[in-house]
Chain A
Amino acid sequence: GAGVSQSPSNKVTEKGKDVELRCDPISGHTALYWYRQSLGQGLEFLIYFQGNSAPDKSGLPSDRFSAERTGGSVSTLTIQRTQQEDSAVYLCASSSSGTGLTTDTQYFGPGTRLTVL
């Protein structure tokens, strides 16, 4: 069965440009998460969706970051006016229910490596 997919796998952009990152979760998973991992750093939570709603946006680092999810499936993370400090690997994960219990495994996609020049 298909896992979580993300596109593009790599994105190089110039400072000040906008970028869109896409995540396709596992079919039927209601919960979707965005994280980012900077070089040598741990994973940092960005935003969580339950269905199409985002009850927890606490991790978005600035108002340049936004995300949406449509049809309870695909999600897009948008970064406006990119800065060099936005360079990181952006990881998407999905889980079946979003309960956080030990049975609610989060499955990660391969990530999008974003480089801002």
Chain B
Amino acid sequence: RKEVEQDPGPFNVPEGATVAFNCTYSNSASQSFFWYRQDCRKEPKLLMSVYSSGNEDGRFTAQLNRASQYISLLIRDSKLSDSATYLCVVWRRAAGNKLTFGGGTRVLVKP
């Protein structure tokens, strides 16, 4: 079983709609959580860190559920420019200083 699992999608989303997707992690000792965005043939870029109480950044809301070991990302009022692959990323001290990436969820926003 992979340490970080994501639905690969694609999630086809009408422009202006809301889309949400989850990521599950297997190790309960995971300490830090992030969502990265990766555009086609580009490098990953940090979208937002995920805090225990949940956090919001504009149209993006991230939630952490430690009991069930998942994090979620919700995108409101989707824009065409939100089309990308969203990578769920976790870090735990015992794994050294590397980030462990999920396989990504592809989101396609259509007019």
Binding site for B on A (CB under 8 A): 31, 33, 35, 41-43, 45, 48, 50, 55-56, 58-59, 91, 98-103, 105-111
Residue of B nearest to A4 (CB): B43
CB distance from B70 to the nearest CB of A (A): 17
Q: How many A-B residue pairs have CB under 8 A?
A: 62
Is there an interface contact between B42 and A105, defined as CB atoms closer than 8 Å? Answer: no
Binding site for A on B (CB under 8 A): 31-34, 42-46, 49-51, 87, 91-93, 96-104
Bound CA–CA A91/B41 (angstroms): 12
Residue of A nearest to B8 (CB): A40
Check A102/B99 contact, CB under 8 A, given A43-B44, A108-B43, A109-B43: no
* 15 chain-A/chain-B pairs, Cβ below 8 angstroms: A33-B97, A41-B103, A43-B44, A45-B98, A45-B100, A50-B97, A99-B97, A100-B32, A100-B91, A101-B32, A102-B33, A102-B50, A105-B46, A106-B99, A111-B43
Check A42/B45 contact, CB under 8 A, given A56-B96, A106-B99: no
